[in-house]
């Protein structure tokens, strides 16, 4: 699920000059609006009365919450993969709004669900493709130089 939207900033209430149209909200903010619509009084009060820096809707807070909520999901996926007899890593790469190349790393595995077997794909990480590949190239260059010869040079920096 995408967390960011066309406009990440703006008021969550239903009035005022800074109101962002609902279709341009990030999914994280849509969750707030959904909870208010469903009658969650605490979230409604937070949206209506909290100061901007105490609404917990900033990009930094969203990233922290995503990481916090993601850890149990990742742990459960790893537990299931560890019980699988067959599994593999798969990746998919995409560009975010800041034009960074991000790579999702997922585990595909066969999981026994009661009497049936199902193929599951669970994401376990999202990494910056450029930084990850640059780091691998640097590590490989260091290992190659150390293990073979000081005269040997290796290309591969990104």
- Report residues of the chain scoring pLDDT below 70: 1-27, 97-98, 133-158
> Torsion over CA of 75, 63, 89 and 111, rounded to 10 degrees?
40
- Asked if residue 55 is part of any domain, the answer here is no
- Asked if residue 46 is part of any domain, the answer here is no
- Asked if residue 4 is part of any domain, the answer here is no
- Asked if residue 73 is part of any domain, the answer here is no
- Asked if residue 71 is part of any domain, the answer here is no
- Asked if residue 88 is part of any domain, the answer here is yes
| Predicted pLDDT at 108 | 93
Q: What is the DSSP letter of 23?
A: G
Q: Which residue has the tokens 């994401």?
A: 123
- Asked if residue 15 is part of any domain, the answer here is no
Which secondary structure element, helix H or strand E, spans residue 127, and what is its range? strand 116-128
* Contact assessment for residue 151 and residue 132, using Cβ atoms and an 8 Å cutoff: no
- Asked if residue 23 is part of any domain, the answer here is no
| Predicted pLDDT at 19 | 45
Tally of structural domains, the chain = 1
* Contact assessment for residue 89 and residue 107, using Cβ atoms and an 8 Å cutoff: yes
Supply the range of the domain harboring residue 138.
84-147
* Contact assessment for residue 25 and residue 14, using Cβ atoms and an 8 Å cutoff: no
């Amino acid at each position: 699920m995408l967390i960011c939207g066309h406009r990440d900033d703006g008021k969550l209430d239903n009035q005022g000059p800074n109101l962002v149209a609902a279709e341009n909200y990030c999914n994280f903010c849509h969750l707030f609006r959904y909870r208010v619509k469903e009658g969650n009084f605490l979230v409604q009060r937070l949206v209506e009365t909290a100061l901007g820096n105490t609404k917990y809707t900033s990009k930094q807070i969203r990233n922290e919450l995503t990481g916090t909520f993601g850890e149990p999901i990742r742990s459960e996926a790893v537990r299931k993969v560890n019980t699988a007899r067959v599994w593999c890593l798969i990746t998919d790469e995409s560009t975010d709004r800041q034009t960074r190349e991000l790579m999702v790393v997922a585990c595909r595995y066969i999981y026994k669900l009661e009497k049936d077997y199902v193929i599951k794909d669970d994401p376990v990480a999202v990494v910056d493709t450029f930084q990850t590949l640059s780091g691998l190239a640097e590590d490989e260059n260091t290992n190659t130089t150390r293990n073979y010869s000081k005269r040997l040079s290796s290309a591969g920096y990104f």
